[in-house]
Amino acid sequence: MMGRTEMRRALNCVLTASLTVAALWLLVLPDVNSWATLVVVGIGMYWAPVFREPWEAQAFAMALALHERGLFTWPEWAATLADEIKRAQAAGDPDTGETYYRHWLNALERIVAAKGLADAQMLARYRDAWDRAAERTPHGTPIALKPEDFAD
C-alpha cells in the first residue's frame, strides 16, 4: 500500500492528467472481444458517446487510478457511489443520467476524505484554484494549474 505522501502525489497527478476516452477503455477492456462489445453496445445501439464531456472521462479515470493504487476496493467504491446517488435522488435529482458523473465526483471526494488523503479544506482549495485557472484560460485551451491559482 502506498504511503500518504505518495498517495497525495498520485492524486495530484490524476487530478491534472488528461486521458482520452479511447485510452481509458483500453485500460478497462484490454481484449478484443470486450472492445467489440463496447463498440456495439456503447455506440452502435445507443448512438451516443460514453462520456458527454472530457471531465466525465477524467472522473472515470480518477476512480480507476485511485483503485489501482490501492486507495479503495471496488465494493467500497460501489457502496460510496450508490450512497451518493441515493442522496441525490432524495434531494430531488431526477435520475435521468445527465448527473451521473457528478455523483462520481462527489463519491471520489467522499472516499478521498474518508481515507485521509485530502480533507474538505484541501478539496475546496483545489476547486477554487481550478476555477481561477479556468477563468484565465482561453476557450479550447487545456487548463493548467499554476502556483498563483492557489493564492488566497
pLDDT at position 4: 59
Identify which has the larger pLDDT, 152 or 95.
95
Q: Place 7 in a pLDDT band, splitting at 50, 70 and 90.
A: low
Q: What is the pLDDT of residue 50?
A: 79
Where does the pLDDT of residue 18 fall: very low under 50, low under 70, confident under 90, or very high at 90 and above?
A: very low
Residues 6+ apart with CB under 8 A from 93: 85, 99
What is the DSSP code string of the chain?
Answer: ---HHHHHHHHHHHHH----HHHHHHHH--SHHHHHHHIIIIIIIT-S-S-SSHHHHHHHHHHHHHHHTTS--HHHHHHHHHHHHHHHHHTT---SSTTHHHHHHHHHHHHHHHTTS--HHHHHHHHHHHHHHHHHSPTTSPP---GGGG--
User: Which of 118, 120, 142, 145 has the alpha carbon at shortest distance from 131?
Assistant: 145
Q: What is the pLDDT of residue 33?
A: 41
Sign of CA dihedral 75, 77, 83, 88: negative
* Per-residue pLDDT band at 137 (split at 50, 70, 90): very high
CB 23 within 8 A of CB 60: no
For residues 1-16, give the mean pLDDT.
51
pLDDT digits (tens, 9 = 90+) for 48-98: 557 888 889 989 999 999 999 999 999 999 999 999 999 999 999 988 888
The pLDDT assigned to 152 comes to 73
What pLDDT shows up at residue 107? Answer: 95
Taking the CA atoms of 117, 85, 102 and 97 in sequence, report the sign of the dihedral they define. Answer: positive
